[in-house]
Amino acid sequence: QVQLVQSGSELKKPGASVKLSCKASGYSFTTSAINWVRQAPGQGLEWMGWINTNTGNPTYAQGFTGRFVFSLDTSVTTAYLQIGSLKTEDTAVYYCARGKGDGYNYDSWGQGTLVTVSS
């Protein structure tokens, strides 16, 4: 079955960087986009962007340019989200989600990775 397994929780200091992983299994990795969604504590969902797993081309939402980088390692069917120069407001759960079919709808989600940024 389709499964996305994300890396474990992270505790970082402001200014540090972090790289989260999203390991996909149960389907052909390069046939479905990977989207990233952020959820701050007690808040709603925020779409960060997506990466084309066939070409590696990323698309970032406004507010997620510069410090945020989507990448892939297709040899291990894994997508990555790297966040640089962490700020306290980056504290959130980060989800990866597979875009089904044409990529618009997210039919399988990782369990989420909690990133806590605190001095």
Return residues touching other proteins (CB under 8 A): 37, 44-47, 49, 59, 61-62, 95, 97, 100, 104-107, 109-112
Fill in the DSSP letter of residue 32: S
Which of 80, 106 has the CB closer to other proteins?
106
**Smallest separation, CB 44 to other proteins (Å):** 5
Enter the tokens of residue 106.
Answer: 């997210």
Which of 10, 103 has the CB closer to other proteins?
103
**Smallest separation, CB 34 to other proteins (Å):** 14
Burial class (CB in 10 A: 0-12, 13-18, 19+), 115: buried
**Smallest separation, CB 87 to other proteins (Å):** 20
Which of 12, 100 has the CB closer to other proteins?
100
**Smallest separation, CB 102 to other proteins (Å):** 9
Rg (alpha carbons) of the chain, rounded to whole number: 13
**Measured between alpha carbons, how far is 105 from 33 in angstroms, rounded to an integer?**
10
SS3 at position 52? coil
